[in-house]
Structure 1
């Protein structure tokens, strides 16, 4: 068996760099696909070069000189029989200047720009005289790489792996059915790998550059098929675990609904029925609730908790911040006024923590808290239901740690309910959470009004001050959100504490409060309680109020330096207003000039309140990896597939996965092993 360290030029340091790219074997190199391609198979005459295209040119140096300025620039004028181009080097050595003298032959490859004196290349790759190599016979692949790993070294490693494959010294089994490949007019695996790593000059370049070439699609479909096969294996493995059935009679459910201070929407009732059906089973529920800001996910979660309480079991509710956990504690105390509740966060004092730990181990039925809930010294009496809010803020292994608290020696696990107010486009949800059953609360309570959103340059503070004064005089309340706690020389955002002092000068007649993540839990709780009670008219806050804060009387949200925040975070923050019956407003303040991406984000916020529309734009701007977050390491990830641009292939891949399960079951496990290293972990999440 050939190892990475057996390849020429790949020492221990390079092996470590390759692992950062999830390349752990020579076989992995073959499935590390190029980002783009360079055409060094033909020389373009200088009168045919086009701006913004990467091109190979060759000619004779007619002039070489240094332009003096803030930074000296080495300029080489190169001519062929048809035209002239300038090669410019901002960083150059004296020896380079000497070598690049008039009369020498030179070949260069780079992106063509239109300069003041005609076409030019900035810092091209170049070869002089005898060092000019023969023209390549195939396109040159350019790969994604990690810092410290040179592109040429990575290219060389892939070419060695491809050589081993072609020579038969590296075996890569064909795992897709031959009859299906022929019907779909897709190449076999080895042919596909050869084409994507060494495309012939006559290849369909447009298809290759857009990821639509049959060889690329064949590899992507194989990865998709392995994904669906792994998910099916996960579901089958999940059925092997047991869970305590949690059932509610019709009478018990009606009593719970009667206790609520409002009537559930049709969407909430539908999702609660789906949860009830899951909880009645003897295998663990694993359900994700997606619901836009203010759609009432907490009330649905309370309905799930009622099932656990009716069975005499414990339910735990975990939130990512102490402010959100405290909000949930207050809300659930209203829903379950007679139940014994415990609260646990990392900032409790020793005596308070010991008291809460004793309650959790003994009498508490409903437990609310933060990350502290899955620490080693937390022992549950009889945990049957785990609810995790804003799950994307917790890593996979954190979620596993909490679920393990309810496991027992009989292979039993607690039921799991995961909630998110960050809408995820359907195609992405099918991939990222396909091991979960997904429910969507796609309806807002009837009294909710759309929030009016406006954009305002930071310089127009006087106009904004009038709006804040007017809102507070009407008895309403407002938020002012800053993005930093302390001043930073590197960021333009003002510090929350400085803003707090400035706003006290602007509004001497208003009661102003301050909350940020560095306050102690009891201080944050006291400020939020004062704000909710109306004792604070204007609350200056950092993004700690992003989720969960519910103050119906707050009708104005000001977000300072809004261009610095992503769409999802802006939407979450805006959702802190519009929770009552009055018309609410959100002002997005920005520092001009704006980048194109920032303009798109802010205009999207202005134009729609629909979280799923916002999520679609977010997916286009940031891609699936950023939306899911770096904390989801251990979740299924695609190496080749782009969830958004390759979504048309999913139906074909799903049908092929079903075909293989029925007709080629012996190949299914090998496919999962080739592509899905994290399947075993995901089975438990």
Structure 2
């Protein structure tokens, strides 16, 4: 075997070969010994006890019986052929049945012999029966060694794999062979002081016991060890990256707060800042004075005032002779930022421009010139900001909104727009659970705006079923009579766009009948419309020329109409929690009481019911995000898929928050004492950085 046994192609494992290797690669992405070893069981079946026949109930999941075979008989012809055997213990008789693999089973069965019988019990014709049980001759000496009196691992398999006898049992056999062959090559990768401090079992023992535990305690210890290791190395990598970033990327020093910031704060700010906004501005101010590039994530619920914080950060840059920009993922959102910031700063204060794909060439040329001579101070736009022809005189501050929608390369292009990289403020209105933030953005400093501006009333959320539609119409008419406006949102899900568009069109018909001209006017916006038509309809609503906007989720971000006080979400059960929360945040922008009405069908799945009840119960985005993560798993939360961070094999961010916090605190402590991992006791960690294959690689977590 070579020096890197775990990178050995899977076809070289005894019992695999070329054909099985191909199907393992295609079905489970198992290419190497390591991939197989890290194909962990998804559950364990308790084989630590034998049941007596009289104690078996048909609703039991799986049972194990020790019984003597009394008889066997092949019955029926061709298609109805079956093998029926009877087995007996001192309390009763159980019938065993095979409808496939009859020849194989018949050879295995010897009347008079005692067998370990394992399977799912049921009743057939009033008799206790087990179909296609696992069978093994009872051998008291060998049984413990083989692990039959233990927790039996169950592995994910597929129909294709089963054709190659690689069901759960087949995979179990391969993993047993692999462990026997390579256990000595599983080297320790954590220092002794960590093993002692956290009472962690050795690495080789953990791998053996996660696959073949003798009892629940062994399994728990193995899982804890491997979860800790996985999260520890993830945090080590993230915090090392942050450390290296700090050393490598110098930042412009914003030494003073000048006239732009002070005039805006004292004369133009239309409302007092919340304590949370002041705290975040102080954190940004500190970052930009250190001579190191700022890399800060700003989390804040919809309507919490992130844009004002971003603007005031950009004014500090302008006070120090630099330009600033905001990059948004969509034209709608870029337009929204442009309008909000233009209104806040007023005419003749700072020069602000908007650059998107829709900007004509003539205007574009003026923007390019203003950027290059420094007269244009704030540029707001979409991906257009990172085009090669966009050159800044002195870019000092970059704000990236809803950053999970941009790739790493797109963000890096903005950095390269200046000799000294600009300070970076990343904003998101998608609340991220704390554990996910530590994992996805562990190399960023995190700020949170966790209070709403004064005078905002919490949005009231109601859940109506179809039978309550008339009540919904009544609520709409009441609000319109007060001079308010209303959003009505329909789902548009890619797999069935035609079906959902029909749904939207039917909804428009219903709304038009219930809210006829000339008393009511309706705007219609959906993703299939031309950009100009969409903008025209949105502007009619923004200007108050229409009272109702019937739309798909294109309005999820970027429409700010303080006069809109009701958000109605049709088929609310078809939306994820994060999206429901984002949509609800489109209202509640003014001082008036706002409402969110969730319309759903009567029958809901359990998850659907939890989602809608959560929305009714709380307005707290972080609480909602935690529940969302528990329901969907961290890998499905918006923006995490492209991060590549979440290829966690053992740890679960929803369930293992405590382990993650332990691991992160531990890494912070190590770097404080030994930033270069040069101390003798940390050589083992240093080696893990140097070698992708220190025992098993953890480098795949990136």
CA drift at 1:99: 7.0
Is residue 403 of structure 1 aligned with residue 403 of structure 2?
no
Distance verdict in 2 for CA 1:360–1:592, change over 3 Å: farther
SS of equivalent residue, structure 1 residue 405 = helix
Counterpart in the other structure of 1:368: 380
SS of equivalent residue, structure 2 residue 565 = strand
Q: Alpha-carbon deviations, 1:303-350, whole Å to 9, x = none?
A: 122123233433222222322221111112223444444434446667
Is residue 287–residue 439 contact of structure 1 (8 Å, CA) maintained in 2? yes
Counterpart in the other structure of 1:560: 570
Equivalent residue for 2:395, pick from 372, 377, 383: 383
Which blocks of at least 5 consecutive residues in structure 1 are unaligned? none
Alignment of 1:462-477 (within 5 A): 462-477=470-485
- Measured in 2, the distance between the counterparts of 1:285 and 1:434 equals 14
Counterpart in the other structure of 2:243: 236
SS of equivalent residue, structure 1 residue 47 = helix
CA drift at 1:281: 2.6
SS of equivalent residue, structure 1 residue 612 = helix
Is residue 452 of structure 1 aligned with residue 460 of structure 2?
yes
CA drift at 1:477: 0.6
Distance verdict in 2 for CA 1:361–1:114, change over 3 Å: farther
Counterpart in the other structure of 1:335: 344
Equivalent residue for 1:303, pick from 293, 312, 337: 312
CA drift at 1:521: 2.5
Is residue 47–residue 83 contact of structure 1 (8 Å, CA) maintained in 2? yes
- TM-score relative to the length of structure 2: 0.82
CA drift at 1:294: 1.1
Q: Alpha-carbon deviations, 1:538-587, whole Å to 9, x = none?
A: 00111111123211111111100101111111111111111111111111
Is residue 328–residue 383 contact of structure 2 (8 Å, CA) maintained in 1? yes
Counterpart in the other structure of 2:611: 601
Counterpart in the other structure of 1:38: 45
Is residue 7 of structure 1 aligned with residue 13 of structure 2?
yes
- Measured in 1, the distance between the counterparts of 2:393 and 2:45 equals 63
- Measured in 2, the distance between the counterparts of 1:125 and 1:186 equals 37
Distance verdict in 2 for CA 1:188–1:543, change over 3 Å: same
CA drift at 1:87: 7.1
SS of equivalent residue, structure 1 residue 577 = coil
SS of equivalent residue, structure 1 residue 261 = coil
Is residue 246–residue 307 contact of structure 1 (8 Å, CA) maintained in 2? yes
Is residue 570 of structure 1 aligned with residue 580 of structure 2?
yes
Is residue 320–residue 390 contact of structure 1 (8 Å, CA) maintained in 2? yes
**Structure number with larger C-alpha Rg:** 2
Counterpart in the other structure of 1:532: 542
CA drift at 1:111: 4.2
Equivalent residue for 1:277, pick from 280, 286, 303: 286
CA drift at 1:641: 1.4
SS of equivalent residue, structure 1 residue 539 = strand
Is residue 318 of structure 1 aligned with residue 332 of structure 2?
no
Counterpart in the other structure of 1:393: 405
CA drift at 1:76: 6.3
Equivalent residue for 2:684, pick from 642, 661, 667: 667
CA drift at 1:58: 7.0
Distance verdict in 2 for CA 1:456–1:111, change over 3 Å: farther
Equivalent residue for 2:226, pick from 219, 225, 230: 219
Which blocks of at least 5 consecutive residues in structure 2 are unaligned? none
What count of residue pairs does the alignment treat as equivalent? 656
Q: Alpha-carbon deviations, 1:62-86, whole Å to 9, x = none?
A: 89889xxxx9998968653444667
SS of equivalent residue, structure 1 residue 495 = helix
Counterpart in the other structure of 2:699: 677
Distance verdict in 2 for CA 1:272–1:468, change over 3 Å: same
CA drift at 1:284: 1.2
CA drift at 1:163: 1.8
Is residue 495 of structure 1 aligned with residue 503 of structure 2?
yes
Is residue 634–residue 640 contact of structure 2 (8 Å, CA) maintained in 1? no
Is residue 302–residue 335 contact of structure 1 (8 Å, CA) maintained in 2? no
Is residue 379–residue 405 contact of structure 1 (8 Å, CA) maintained in 2? no
- Measured in 2, the distance between the counterparts of 1:371 and 1:119 equals 67
- Measured in 2, the distance between the counterparts of 1:361 and 1:129 equals 83
- Measured in 2, the distance between the counterparts of 1:526 and 1:306 equals 32
Alignment of 1:114-129 (within 5 A): 117=126, 126=134
- Measured in 1, the distance between the counterparts of 2:501 and 2:96 equals 41
Counterpart in the other structure of 2:191: 177
Distance verdict in 2 for CA 1:367–1:157, change over 3 Å: farther
CA drift at 1:174: 1.3
CA drift at 1:377: 5.4
CA drift at 1:275: 0.9
